[in-house]
Amino acid sequence: MTPKPVDSILDVIGNTPIVKLQKVVPRTGADIYAKLEYLNPSGSYKDRIALEMIRSAEAEGKLKPGYTIVEASTGNTGTALSFVGTRLGYNVEIYMPEGMTRERIKIMESYGAKVYEMKIEGLDSTGSIAGAEVEFIPRQKCLDLERSNAKIWWARQFSNPANWRAHLVTGNEILEQMNCKVDAFVASIGVGGTLYGIAKALKAKIPKCKVIGLEPASARYAISSGVLSPPGISKDIAGGIIEEMMESGLIDEVVKVTNEDAIKTSDRLVREEGFFCGISAGANVYYSMKVAESLGKGKRVVTVLPDHRDRYLSEKKYTT
């Protein structure tokens, strides 16, 4: 069926297709299905949470005309908030750790946002990193700004429940598209909203569905290491959705993926499957192949391709 015209670009957020992988799959394993989240308008599944967080804040009276939206981001959430926020008439300021690709900054600025880079001590620009790990200093900046000006609203993607609520919708889309036949779901964790929201939706309908979260192998503060933040970090800028998610018992396993494996698999997805997706998509599919092998024929593994490759053209890095 040909889609009908819509009133706004915001109306085309979500409802992304799911495609069965044909070439990048183990021949003796389960089928793997990828939800193409990079087809959202600004190029990632963060469009979903940007719209949900903003609309929720408006409904709660926390965000009003003339306000400025601020956020700490390594790229995708910043881009999504730049897109949705400016489209709805707000000023948007994004605080990023130094070392992210220049394309991300240019995309955000194209939407009209102001982008500020912040120096992060000890950041290894050659390896993979967890997005949440390098956001503590930018988050503190956002907190300080919000406290200093009543017309600044900090989106707080890491702790805002609107984040995971947006992905209840993603999970329900998966259930409908897969006819409730999903044996395992695999996704990078990041700040937790995607995995937690989708896990909630899937487990409510398919309790036996296995949910696996992924982290960069080089992450210093990670679920798999048991340490989520450096000593002395305030709860105002740490924890949040990840802690709630792990306490929920919905996540069956947390696994680390190397930068090399994520990049190699993302390159294969572009060349062999035709998916112009980013590096976290490579990590997701890389481990989905391992899960597919363990489950065997007749089973179904679902994953997401989170973002577009246009933000990795100058440098490839698994940042979740």
Decide which of 154, 189, 210 is a domain's last residue. Answer: 154
Same domain, 148 and 72: yes
Residue 206 confidence (pLDDT): 98
Same domain, 270 and 196: yes
Least confident of 106-110, 200-204, 231-235, 269-273: 231-235
Same domain, 122 and 199: no
User: Is residue 99 domain-resident?
Assistant: yes
Same domain, 233 and 275: yes
User: Is residue 136 domain-resident?
Assistant: yes
Decide which of 107, 129, 154 is a domain's last residue. Answer: 154
Residue 264 confidence (pLDDT): 97
Same domain, 300 and 168: yes
| Chain-centroid distance, C-alpha 219 | 16
What is the band of 233 on the pLDDT scale with cuts at 50, 70, 90? Answer: confident
What is the band of 135 on the pLDDT scale with cuts at 50, 70, 90? Answer: confident
pLDDT of 123 higher than 50: no
Residue 225 confidence (pLDDT): 64
Domain that holds residue 100: 46-154
Residue 124 confidence (pLDDT): 47
Same domain, 19 and 101: no
Same domain, 29 and 88: no
Decide which of 125, 154, 183 is a domain's last residue. Answer: 154
Q: What is the CATH number of the domain that holds 276?
A: 3.40.50.1100
Average per-residue pLDDT in the chain? 92
Higher pLDDT, 140 or 132: 140
Same domain, 34 and 66: no
Interval 227-240 mean pLDDT:
76
What is the band of 276 on the pLDDT scale with cuts at 50, 70, 90? Answer: very high
Same domain, 304 and 188: yes
pLDDT of 220 higher than 80: no
What is the band of 26 on the pLDDT scale with cuts at 50, 70, 90? Answer: confident
Residues carrying an active site annotation? 46, 280
User: Is residue 95 domain-resident?
Assistant: yes
Place of tokens 């070439």: 23
Higher pLDDT, 137 or 320: 137
What is the band of 226 on the pLDDT scale with cuts at 50, 70, 90? Answer: low
User: Is residue 150 domain-resident?
Assistant: yes
Residue 224 confidence (pLDDT): 65
User: Is residue 4 domain-resident?
Assistant: no
Distance CA 86, CA 41 (A): 14
What is the band of 219 on the pLDDT scale with cuts at 50, 70, 90? Answer: confident
Interval 228-234 mean pLDDT:
69
Residue 133 confidence (pLDDT): 59
Least confident of 116-120, 149-153, 185-189, 257-261: 116-120
User: Is residue 61 domain-resident?
Assistant: yes
User: Is residue 137 domain-resident?
Assistant: yes
Split into its structural domains, the chain has a count of: 2
Interval 266-289 mean pLDDT:
98
Same domain, 288 and 185: yes
User: Is residue 316 domain-resident?
Assistant: no
Residue 126 confidence (pLDDT): 41
pLDDT of 127 higher than 60: no
pLDDT of 229 higher than 60: yes
Residue 165 confidence (pLDDT): 98
Measuring CA to CA, which residue among 68, 70, 152, 81 is closest to residue 118?
70
Same domain, 99 and 169: no
Distance CA 132, CA 190 (A): 6
Same domain, 181 and 214: yes
pLDDT of 128 higher than 60: no
